Amino acid sequence: MTQLVRFELLAGNIGLITLSRPEAANAMSVQLLNELGATLDKVNGDPTVRVVLLTGAGEKAFCAGADLKERKGMSDRQVKQIVHLIGVTVAKVEALAQPVIAVLNGVAFGGGLELALACDLRVAAVHTKLGLTETSLGIIPGAGGTQRLPRLIGIGKAKELIYTARRLNAVEAKDYGIVEYVFDGNELQEEAQHLALEMTKNAPLSLVQAKIAINQGIEVDLATGLKIESLAYSALIPTEDRLEGLLAFQEKRSPHYLGQ
């Protein structure tokens, strides 16, 4: 059986996860979803992986969403199961302890964009096109798109894009606030790694706790969010990395963090 999800550890403790089904626009088949879920389970909290890049194989597609050809022969019950599996897998991306950067090397429609929305940041090749196109297919986004997109860009803009099933180019997506950076296709991977390296030079436990504070805090009122932030900060006080950060500052050198 062909492997549909690849993992590679790059220099600087960067983990690269690649959806490798380019002949089908990296669409989410059951096998791909199962392999992606297993890969995420292995990577989650792995101290050798400080930041994760998630991308697709080839230059045409990041992920075209659900595999509609595979779904065509399914019963209603089976469709509900696969939609649930997509949602669970996307949620695993969001729950990953480490920061995750979606590297959009090509189209990201439907579930493909929902997968990217579960990442912490998104960078896109200039030729990328993306959108939540489900209403044009008689369905709605079913893997978190109706919830994550409004939280990212605001309810009005999200309703506009979902109701119209509009397809955006990379520059338009940046203007909407869906992606943070747009690069030429031949520069995308290198620039994504540079962004990841800016993160990996910092204390890995701090990245984990900052992600917890931001993701959990955004869902609650300010007073509760501040308590979440305080707890996340307190978790770092007894760490060796915090002491290393202070010592490096005093000695005017770059810190050497071990994630301890």
Catalytic residue flag (residue 94): no
In whole angstroms, how large is the CA radius of gyration of the chain? 19
Please identify which of the residues 106, 114, 144, 145 carries the catalytic annotation.
114
Tokens encoding 179:
């992606």
Please identify which of the residues 25, 57, 64, 66 carries the catalytic annotation: 66
State the DSSP code for 237: T
Residue 134 annotated in active site = yes
Q: Which of 134, 143, 213, 245 is catalytic?
A: 134
Sheet holding 168-169, edge to edge: 61-63, 107-109, 129-131, 168-169
Q: Pick the catalytic residue from 65, 106, 110, 111.
A: 111
Q: Of 137, 195, 189, whose CA–CA distance to 162 is shortest?
A: 137
Q: Is there a catalytic annotation at residue 106?
A: no
Q: Which two tokens stand for residue 120?
A: 């912490």
Strand duo 168-169 + 129-131: pairing: antiparallel
Active-site annotation holds for 111 = yes
Kindly compute the dihedral angle of the four CA atoms of residues 104, 57, 66, 164, in this order, to the nearest 10 degrees. 30
Residues 6+ apart with CB under 8 A from 47: 204, 259
Residue carrying structure tokens 């600087």: 12
First to last CA, the chain: 39
User: Which distant-in-sequence residues (6+ apart) come within 8 Å of 221 by Cβ?
Assistant: none
Which two structure tokens, joined as six digits, stand for 99?
Answer: 């920061």
Lookup: tokens for 235 = 């978790």
Which residue in the block uniquely carries the two structure tokens 């997506």? 173
Residues forming the active site? 66, 111, 114, 134
